[in-house]
Structure 1
Amino acid sequence: MYGNSMRQWVRGAGVVVIAMLGATPAFATSTGISGNSGKDTQTCNTCHNGGTAPTVEIEGPSTLEKGATGQYTFIIRGGAAMTGGVGIAVDNTEASLQAGTGMKKLGAELSHSAPQAFTGTELRFNFSLVAPATDVTLNLFGAGNSANADQKSSGDRAAATKLSIKVGNGTPVVEDPGPDDGDDSGGCTAASSAPVWALALAGLPLTVRRRRRS
Structure 2
Amino acid sequence: MRFPSYGAAGVLTVCLLSAPALANIAGTVGYSGKSNMTCITSGCHSGGAAPTVELSGPTSLAAGATGQYTLIIRGGAGVKGGMNVAVDNTAASLAAGSGLRKAMNELTHSVPKSFSNGEVRFDFSMVAPPSAGTVNIFGAGNSVNGNGTEAGDGSAATSLAVTVTGSNEPKEETGGCSSTGGAPVLVFALAAGMTLLRRRRS
| Range of TM-score over shorter length | 0.7 to 0.9
SS at match of 1:28: helix
1:28, CA displacement in angstroms?
2.4
Q: How many residues align?
A: 160
**Counterparts of 1:92-131 in structure 2 under 5 Å?**
92-131=89-128
Give the strand-richer structure, 1 or 2. 2
1:97 aligned partner, one-letter code? L
**Counterparts of 1:1-214 in structure 2 under 5 Å?**
21=17, 25-45=20-40, 46=42, 47-168=44-165
List gaps (5 residues or longer) in structure 1.
Answer: 1-8, 171-214
1:27, CA displacement in angstroms?
2.9
2:58 aligned partner, one-letter code? P
Residues 72-124 of structure 1 show CA distances to partners (whole Å, capped at 9, x for unaligned) of 00000000010110000000000000000000000210000011111032000
List gaps (5 residues or longer) in structure 2.
Answer: 1-5, 168-202
CA–CA separation in structure 2 for the residues paired with 1:66 and 1:55: 31
Give identity over the alignment, percent.
51
TM-score (norm 1): 0.68
1:26, CA displacement in angstroms?
3.5
Q: Which residue of structure 1 aligns with residue 3 of structure 2?
A: none
1:17, CA displacement in angstroms?
5.1
RMSD (Å) for aligned C-alpha atoms:
2.5
Residues 140-172 of structure 1 show CA distances to partners (whole Å, capped at 9, x for unaligned) of 0000000001110111111000000000059xx
CA contact (8 A) 1:58 1:75 kept: yes
CA–CA separation in structure 2 for the residues paired with 1:53 and 1:169: 39
Q: Which has the larger radius of gyration?
A: 1
1:24, CA displacement in angstroms?
5.4
